[in-house]
Amino acid sequence: MSNEKKIVWLSKGLPKTLTHKGKEYRSGIAKDQTEQLNITFEKIVDDDVENHEYHGGKDRVICVYPYEHYHFWESTYGKSLQKAAFGENLTTVGMKESDVCVGDVYQIGDAIVQVSQGRFPCATINKHTHIHTLLNKMIELGYTGYFFRVLEEGTINTQSKIKQLIQHPMQLSVATIHETFFHTKELSKIETILSVAELSNEWKVRFEKLYQQEKQKQLG
């Protein structure tokens, strides 16, 4: 099997008014395909989220989703998914959650980016895809995608190569971190994850809270 990392689609979009079951809602999840992304430290130009309290920020500039999962979802639910169905900016091959680790650094085009956290998906994904069980299934399987922070601004186009510059020494994959948070909740693993300096602040807060909860359970 080839380990080549490739871009399948690039997508961006500003928040829009969308409809689900006759009700309107606002979200930035609906993206349009583009030939190029202009990446800054803060955001992608002409791309944004609706709710800045829960989405976006410097640790979540670029949302990535593995193309490999599309076939699984389409066969599971018996329906075709639109491009960038998960609201991602970068749809890739060879970069599944089990293949990338928090702290890994990549050059894509002339932008340099770093894996900062897995995605904590919300129910908007169910509304956007009109699959009401998708969110729970994503969390169960860990097929969530993940985020890049930007270390060096630049442009990414559909022909850009993906080159890994740094492999983080702790090699804690996005899949392992997801599994620990949502399923196993092992204290020793949580401690290890919390020691990764490159983990986003949002996930550090989540893991610190989880650690205290699990510690309390052990103490009875």
Task: Please give the pLDDT value at position 19.
Answer: 82
Q: Specify whether the CB–CB gap between 10 and 156 falls below 8 A.
A: yes
CA atoms of 180 and 111, how far apart (whole Å): 31
* Conformation bin of residue 72: beta by default, left when phi > 0, alpha when psi is -120 to 50: alpha
Q: Give the pLDDT score at 17.
A: 83
* Cβ-count burial 31-50 (b if 16+ within 10 Å, e if not): beebeebbbeeebbeebebb
Hey, is 91 helix, strand or coil? strand
What single string gives the DSSP state of each residue in 6-69? EEEEEEE---EEEEETTEEEEES---EE-SEEEE-SS-BTT---S-TTTS-SGGGSEEEEETHH
- What is the residue type of 97? E
- H/E element, 165: strand 162-166
Nearest to 200 by CA among 110, 136, 120: 120
| pLDDT tens per residue, range 98-116 | 999 999 999 999 999 999 9
pLDDT at 20: 78
Q: Tokens in use for 138?
A: 């994503």
For the entire predicted model, the pTM comes to 0.94
- Ordered by where they begin, the domains of the chain are 6-167 (2.40.33.20)
Q: Tell me: the pLDDT tens digits for 23-65?
A: 887 877 889 999 999 999 999 999 877 665 655 689 999 999 9
- pLDDT lower than 70: segments of the chain: 1-2, 50-56, 220
Given this model, what pLDDT does residue 53 score? 61
**Cβ contact 32:11 at 8 Å:** yes
What pLDDT does 1 receive? 40
Q: Which of 46, 135, 34, 149 is CA-nearest to residue 102?
A: 149
User: How confident is the model at residue 12, as a pLDDT?
Assistant: 96
